[in-house]
Amino acid sequence: MGGKYDVIGGRARRVDAVDKATGKAIYAEDLRFVGELHGALLQSPLPHARVLNIDTSRALKLPGVKAVITHKDVPATRYGVSPARYDETVFAIDRVRYVGDEVAAVAAVDLETALEAIELIKVDYEPLPHVLTVDEALAPGAPQLHDEYPGNLCAEVHQEFGDLAAGFAQCDLIHEHKFVNKRQDGGFIEPQHSIAVYDHTGQLTLYSSTQVPHYVQRTLSMVTGVPIGKVRVVKPYVGGGFGPKAEANPLDLCASFLAMRTGKPVRMGYTRAQVFLHSRARHQFFHTMKTGFKKDGTIVALAHQCHLEGGAYSSFGIATVYYAGSLLGGPYRMKHMSYDGYRVYTNKPACGAQRGHGCVAARACFEQQLDIVAKQLDLDPIEMRLKNIMENGDVTCNHMSMSSLGMKECIQAVQTGSDWQEKRGKLPPGRGIGMASGFFVSGAGYPIYRSDTFHCTVTIKVQEDGGTVLVKTGAAEIGQGSDTTMAMIAAEAIGIPLEAVRLVSGDTDYGVDLGAYSSRTTLMTGHATKEAGLAVKETVLTALAQELGIERQRLDLKKGLVQISGEPVDFSALRTKYIKEHRGWTDHPDGEQLTFTEAARVAFLKHGTIVGTGKYKPPVLGGLHKGAAVGTSPAYGCSAQVAEVSVDLETGQIKVERITDAHDCGQAINLTSVEAQMEGSVSMGLGETMFEEVKFDKDGRVLNPSLGEYHIPTVLDMPEMKCIVVETGEPNGPFGAKEVGEGAIMPTIPAILNAVHDAIGVAIDELPLTPERVLKALAQAKQG
Amino acid sequence: MKKLAITLVVNDTEHELLVAPNRTLAQVLREDLGLTGTKQGCQVGDCGSCTVLLDDEPVNSCLVLAAQVTGRRVRTIEGVADGNRLHPIQEAMVEHGAIQCGFCSPGMILSAKSLLEKNPDPSNGDIRQALSGNLCRCTGYQKIVEAVADAAQKMGRA
Amino acid sequence: MLLPRFEYHRPARLDEALAILAQHQGQAAVLAGGTDLLVGMKHKLMKPAHVVGLEALEGFGQIQEQEGMLLLGPMLTASALAGEPGVRARATALALGAGVLGSPQVRNRATVGGNVCNARPAADMCVPLLALGATALLQSAHGAREVPLSEFFLGPGRTVRTPGELLCGVKLPAGGPGVGSGYQKLGLRQALEIALVNVAAFVALEDDGQTVKTARVALGAVAPTPILSPGAEAALTGQVISEELIRQAAQAAAADARPIDDHRGSADFRRQEVLVLTRRALQQAWQAARQD
């Protein structure tokens, strides 16, 4: 520790870690309610069909069944993530659009009965032709998913910044490159689980494994019709989210309707296979990038097209299709850029947001292209990047402002940290080294619904008798460490030790917080927490100054002790009074300085309960073009990584040997957590590069809906990682802090791709890098 | 379906239970004994989050019938710490920041415990082998491996 | 995910177990480690009315060595086999296969009997056992029979075992001087992985230390069951072993493979890997045979 801060910047033990290490931490499935019922879902077995009739009579007659609901029993209200594309209903009304689409739900006395009842529901379907790929969906005469969105086009984007034609005219070299990733799954270890409780006063409380209690609350209110003031969403501990848990899901809605209907608590959980059916994870992106360079490696212009295979509903997709283009505006200076993006409906589970939302495949494509062009121009890929790199204060051609950007520092850190100079070009056949960069938002500049709302509010209450404070925030701890981060920020702002802070979070009763997505919590909720902490400090010290009869400015708090500047002040009367109040206690303050405990007591005796509040919303950001909101952020975090690989040239098997990773997080709040986010990002990126792909059969059924056949990395697949934390001090961040959770995944895929390129002499433009794909690439290379 | 009377010694306490034969050890631990520290991530042996020690060996409790293991010793995450004193592995996991969402942590800790009981001085490779049945999506495993190595060292010194 | 309902039997003696199987012909599933059966039952692929657990049967978890043969009890776990020095030395490929099956937790439950009876095409213990020349020992209420593993598997999940029969052991020749075996597995991940292709090789040399007396190459994930490669066997037998001979045998094995295209990999890819893995497995086996 040390430096300018007392609490932040060091390595703190996470406030939730002991509970999680001992099995005491409660997740949604661990909750128990007296008299609770078990719910189950009936999901479509067909990818596309008309629903002719639903007969629930046999299910209703099964002993133990308490309710069976279909579209006839719930409002037809359309919902979704973006109000611009509300295209979902709780249950299919006339049509199912993917294998897994919700048709009915049951509540029964136990799960066995509920599942049996599901099998007794008879649905008459009239199968419709279906589309599973972008090409099928866009073909003339293709079956249509949504009447409102003809051509199966969920959303399209057309943007141009600068003057593309003029840009290309200046170029010495123009390179066109295509790249495709695969549909991913979030791979969080805790499947979604929801429990709804509806009481006699009309209060609906939902306990859900969610990243976004606030949005779930709004959706529940909108769809159920329960006034929002009577909807409370509580997020217990969550076993990972990574994006797919950032929206109200069918369990949240169905459990709520079933609880309202039966008057009993209703729990519903996904099996692992259902997690795959719900999806809302990373899209498949088909990128084509035509990029123009000058001989010296200067990047001049980019013409970019992308098609997203979106699945049956929009989910986050509108934001995704914008993100896939907008974050190519940096971190390299480039004056001319065009983007044409299309998100396409298919009869598959809906894709949504996943770590590095919309950007990782685009980043992989672009960074791979940079390496290819560097080779053609005979430039070192690092030197070429440094030549184009943005710095603090730069603004991208699409109007995103880099208020701080330690991109150059990150690149130089991994260059040194990986011994790049000693290795690049000097490794034996089958071994390779590659690098890449990337950056990401520190919180979306705007909420998902159009609003002037604060993005977060925080309340800090000073406990009435003593030296601890209670932080209340709606922020969602989903594993990333936000509870600890907020507790540390509160402690730092007030001037007390971390141990003096208690924190409750993840409950819509505690205030507005948009939730854990777009890497927003540290910066945004951090701002609100800091503001609330400073308010507490101000109230306490003002009261103390009055009591001591001195000026407020003479007082400060540090590490829980009151600092008094200038002449010594006699506070013995105050201390005596405190001790008298606590006769019989053994922990009387006896040091030479007044404590926060005493000061807080003085404030309470003067004013009653002391509460500080904080709030945050970003300033107006970005340009005026259509879609300008997506990609704007008060700050951007950035990363560079170097990957080293060895390739078995006979089997095609790749081993990632080492990753050197540097990330600019502005200012680390908890250094350990920053590294932890970096390492976790690498593992998700590595999984997507090497193994991960959700596969479907011709009837739209997921072929590998399990963690056995959808391969996320095991400990044996992970390389040694060296993490270097870069701190540039973000002017728009609380104490200079900005994101780490998603920027850190950006370089992983292209760094590995570029290392493999270095190892085998071929750039592979399709993920994942299975042995089969590598062998094919090697064979093609051999043929010339 | 005839229920069966079984005996399980869970965390050193003997329990006599009447269970339906189709209930797994994970279900009985979580539902009958309230030991919800045992997590269920996949229920088919793919993720390791339900890992418990069966006579000191890690197993996926989702793929063990409670009736199958009558008379045997089971250790769950609730039986690892000594009251409020954490086991050195738990302590190291907390200290090293090896816990994020925490859903894999109970299983991970039990796998590590079994390893260190058999092999007090494991190599990095030994640790990775021992944890290779416990999936974690948050950490990239590095801090977990460091924590287990550190715990081994501290336990060796104690 | 719930298991379907069933009656559970926990026989303590073999005759009791055989009687239960005889009584519930076709209605009873045998439960060894449960890592396969319970998964199938949770997925509702099987709904046996009766489940017969073998955990209480005496002697089913033992290894015996008699007259140059290893006799493996069906309840021996993959962990036990992978760690047992006798198996590592005398049936190396089996120890290697058992050691990379699933994960530590799975290996602590999965048994050799279960692995053999489940007859998955890529089973990590079946492929080595086939190469090692193992025989399945079956018993029913009416008698006993021995079936070489090369005749045991019929298709994915299907074997010659009748519903009334119980696999009571697996018998294989114990390796010794001049004998070696090897195992190669290719998967995406390094753990929790079903092989894309797996190959086991067995080589026994004449006393001259260079002429191949017996050789077997078993291939996994390239046919509906684990298969032996007759071509590889023919290429090797009676010849002086060399890198070149091994290459020829590997080519013969690739020719014997009958892979199909599926979502895990194409037939061409699998055949290509058979070539590489067979070569490596044979090199391993040769080296082990020379070391003894």
**pLDDT tens readout for residues A617-662:** 999 999 999 999 999 999 999 999 999 999 999 999 999 999 999 9
Taking the C-alpha atoms of residue C131 and residue C93, their distance in angstroms, rounded to an integer, is: 8
Torsion from C-alpha of C153, C93, B107, A517, nearest 10 degrees: -80
Terminus-to-terminus CA distance in chain A, angstroms?
Answer: 57
Residues of chain B in contact with residue C102, where contact means CB-CB under 8 angstroms, are 45, 133
Residue with tokens 């495993």: B141
Name the DSSP class of A128.
-
Q: Are A684 and B114 in contact (CB under 8 A)?
A: no
Residue A198 zone, left/alpha/beta (φ > 0; ψ -120 to 50; rest): beta
How many Cβ atoms are within 10 Å of A405's Cβ, its own excluded? Answer: 26
The ipTM of this complex is 0.99
Q: Hey, which residues 219-248 in chain A have their CB within 8 Å of chain B?
A: 237-240, 242
Residues 18-47 of C with CB under 8 A from B: 31, 34-35, 38-39, 42-43
Over residues A570-622, the pLDDT tens digits come to 999 999 999 999 999 999 999 999 999 999 999 999 999 999 999 999 999 99
Cβ atoms of A744 and A523 closer than 8 Å:
no
Distance from CA of C104 to the nearest CA of B (A): 6
Chains touching chain B at 3 or more Cβ pairs under 8 angstroms? A, C
For residue B62, the 8-state DSSP code is: G
- Chains in touch with C (≥3 Cβ pairs < 8 A): A, B
Q: Which residues of A touch C (CB under 8 A)?
A: 111-112, 115, 271, 650-651, 653, 690-691, 695, 703-704, 707-709, 711, 713-717, 770-772, 775-776
How far apart CA A516 and CA A524 sit, in angstroms, is 11
Task: Measure the CA–CA gap between A226 and A484, rounded to whole angstroms.
Answer: 33
C2/A115 CB distance under 8 A = yes
Place A28 in a pLDDT band, splitting at 50, 70 and 90. Answer: very high
- The CA radius of gyration of chain A, in Å to the nearest whole number, is 28
Residues 6+ apart with CB under 8 A from A55: A121, A122, A123, A124
Q: Is it the case that residue A277 has pLDDT exceeding 90? A: yes
Q: Which CATH class is domain C63-173?
A: alpha beta
- Non-local (6+) Cβ contacts of B51 within 8 A are B38, B58, B59, B60, B61, B106, B107, B108, B110, B111, B133, B134, C105
Which residue among C2, C10, C34 sits closest to B63, beta carbon to beta carbon? C34
- What pLDDT, on a 0 to 100 scale, did the predictor assign at position A689? 98
- Is the pLDDT at C184 greater than 60, yes or no? yes
pLDDT at position C26, please? Answer: 86
pLDDT reading at A777 higher than 80: yes
- pLDDT classification of B1: cutoffs 50, 70, 90: confident
**Inter-chain touch B139–A24, beta carbons under 8 Å:** no
In single-letter form, the type of residue at position A556 comes to D
A541 closest CA partner among A488, A607, A473: A607
Rounded CA-CA distance A662/C86 in Å is 49
Residues C102-146 pLDDT 10s: 999 999 999 999 999 999 999 999 999 999 999 999 999 999 999
Distance from CA of B68 to the nearest CA of C (A): 7
DSSP class per residue in A327-348: TTS-SB--SEEEEEEEEEE-SS
3-state secondary structure of B37: coil
Count Cβ atoms within 10 A of the Cβ of residue A176 and give its class: 0-12 exposed, 13-18 middle, 19 or more buried.
exposed
Query: Which residues does chain A have within 8 Å of residue C266's beta carbon, measured at their own beta carbons?
Result: 772
Compute the average pLDDT of residues C53-67.
95
- Check if the beta carbon of residue A439 is closer than 8 Å to that of residue A636: yes
| Contact at CB, A189 and B78, closer than 8 angstroms | no
Cβ-based burial of A322 (10 A; exposed 0-12, middle 13-18, buried ≥19): buried
Mean pLDDT of B75-96: 98
Q: Which of C3, C7, C105 lies at the smallest CB-CB distance from B58? A: C105
- Chain B to chain C, count of Cβ pairs less than 8 Å apart? 90
Per-residue pLDDT at B148: 98
* Cα C152 from Cα A277, distance rounded (Å): 38
Q: Are A233 and A217 in contact (CB under 8 A)?
A: yes
Residues 6+ apart with CB under 8 A from B34: none
- With b for 16 or more beta-carbon neighbours within 10 A and e for fewer, the A333-353 pattern comes to bbbbbbbbbbbbbbbbbbbbb
Q: How many CB atoms lie within 10 A of CB A671?
A: 19
B30 neighbourhood in chain C, CB within 8 Å: none
Q: What is the DSSP letter of A545?
A: H
User: Which of B21, B48, B63 shows the shortest C-beta gap to C109?
Assistant: B63
| Residue intervals in chain B for CATH 3.10.20.30 | 4-79
CATH 1.10.150.120 applies to domain B88-157: yes
- Is the peptide bond prior to A568 cis by the omega test (within 30 degrees of 0)? no
Mean pLDDT, residues C71-99: 97
Q: Is the pLDDT of residue A2 over 70?
A: no
| Superfamily (CATH H level) for C179-291 | CO dehydrogenase flavoprotein, C-terminal domain (3.30.390.50)
pLDDT tens for residues A529-561?
A: 999 999 999 999 999 999 999 999 999 999 999
Mutual angle of helices A317-326 and A360-376, in 10-degree steps: 20
Chain B contact set for A480 (CB, 8 A): 100
**Residue A22 sits at the chain B interface (C-beta within 8 Å):** yes
DSSP string of A564-620? E-SS----HHHHHHHHHHTTT-S----SSS-BHHHHHHHHHHHHSSEEEEEEE-PPP
Answer whether A188 touches B (CB < 8 Å). Answer: yes
pLDDT at B158: 72
Quote the CA–CA distance of C105 and C72 in Å, as a whole number: 21
Q: What element of type H or E holds A457?
A: strand A456-462
- C98-108 burial, b at 16+ Cβ within 10 Å, e below that, comes to bbbbbbbbbbb
CA distance A300 to A162: 10
* Res. A372 pLDDT band, cuts 50 70 90: very high
Residue A567 CB burial class (10 angstroms; 0-12, 13-18, ≥19): exposed
* CA–CA gap between residue B30 and residue B45 (Å, rounded): 17
Residue of C nearest to B133 (CA): C103
The Cα-based distances of A117 to A108, A113, A125, C159 in angstroms read 8, 6, 19, 36
- Of the pLDDT bands very low, low, confident and very high (cuts 50, 70, 90), residue C292 is low
List of residues 6+ apart from B82 with CB closer than 8 A: none
For the purposes of burial, counting CB atoms within 10 Å of the CB of B155, is it exposed (0-12), middle (13-18) or buried (19 or more)?
A: middle
Alpha carbons C206 and A663: distance in angstroms, whole number:
62
Contact C198, C186 (CB under 8 A): yes
Neighbours of A428 (CB within 10 A): 8
A171-218 per-position pLDDT tens digit:
999 999 999 999 999 999 999 999 999 999 999 999 999 999 999 999
Q: Note if the pTM is more than 0.95.
A: yes
pLDDT above 80 (res C22): yes
Task: Identify from C44, C45, C124, C188 which residue to disrupt to test chain A contact, counting A C-beta atoms within 10 A and taking the largest count.
Answer: C188
Tell me what the pLDDT averaged over chain C comes to. Answer: 97
Angle at alpha carbon of residue A184, lines to A178 and A187, rounded to 5°: 150
- Count CB atoms within 10 A of the CB of residue A222: 18
Please tell me the class of the C7-53 domain.
Answer: alpha beta
Question: Of C214, C254, C219, which Cα lies nearest the Cα of C233?
Answer: C214
Q: Which residue of B has its CA nearest to A25?
A: B37
Whether pLDDT at A466 is above 90: no
What mean pLDDT comes out for the span A260-284?
Answer: 98
C-alpha C217/C-alpha C268 separation (Å) is: 19
Query: CB–CB of B67 and C10 under 8 A?
Result: yes
Give the 3-state secondary structure of residue C286.
helix
Q: Are the Cβ atoms of A679 and B143 closer than 8 angstroms? A: yes
Q: Where are the alpha helices (DSSP H) in A266-359?
A: 272-278, 317-326
For C6, the closest chain B residue by CA position comes to B1
* Neighboring chain B residues of C2 at a CB cutoff of 8 Å: 22
Contact between chains at C188 and A771 (C-beta distance less than 8 A): yes
- pLDDT-derived band at A465, boundaries 50, 70, 90: confident
Mode of pairing for the β-strands spanning C158-159 and C166-173: unpaired
Residues of C in contact with B111 (CB under 8 A): 104-105
DSSP C94-160: HHHHHHTSS-HHHHTT-BHHHHHHHT-TT-TTHHHHHHTT-EEEEEETTEEEEEEGGGTEEETTEES
Q: Check residue A3 and give its pLDDT.
A: 73
- Domain parsing of chain C, residue ranges: 7-53, 63-173, 179-291
Nearest to B63 among C5, C38, C192 (CB): C38
The pLDDT confidence band at residue A1, using thresholds 50, 70 and 90, is very low
Chain B contact present for C49, CB below 8 A: no
- What are the pLDDT digits (tens) for A503-529? 999 999 999 999 999 999 999 999 999
Contact B1 C31 (CB under 8 A): no
Q: Hey, what amino acid is at C106?
A: V
Q: Which residues pair with A634 in a beta bridge?
A: none
| Sign of the dihedral through C-alpha C37, C39, C43, C49 | positive
Tell me if A720 and B142 make a contact (CB, 8 A cut-off).
yes
Q: What is the mean pLDDT of residues A236-264?
A: 98
CA A207 to chain CA mean position, Å:
20
**Residues A67-101 pLDDT 10s:** 999 999 999 999 999 999 999 999 999 999 999 99
C-alpha to C-alpha distance for B77 and B35, rounded to whole angstroms: 8
Reading the block at residue B94, the tokens are 């907390």
Cβ-Cβ contacts under 8 Å for A784 (sequence gap 6 or more): none
Over residues A262-267, mean pLDDT: 98
Chain B residues in contact with C43 (beta carbon < 8 A): 44
* Residues of C with Cβ-Cβ distance to A715 under 8 angstroms: 191
Fold for B4-79, please state it: Ubiquitin-like (UB roll) (3.10.20)
For chain B, give every residue range classified as CATH 1.10.150.120.
88-157
Question: What is the side-by-side strand order in the sheet with B73-75?
Answer: B13-19, B4-10, B73-75, B51-54, B57-60
pLDDT of residue A400: 96
Give how far Cα A205 sits from Cα of A109, A212, A213, A265, A513, Å.
20, 15, 11, 9, 17
CB neighbours of residue A443 within 10 Å: 29
Domains of chain A: 17-24+454-616 (3.30.365.10), 31-128+189-240+245-278 (3.90.1170.50), 359-445+633-783 (3.30.365.10)
The answer on pLDDT for A50 being more than 50 is yes
In this prediction, residue B157 carries a pLDDT of: 81
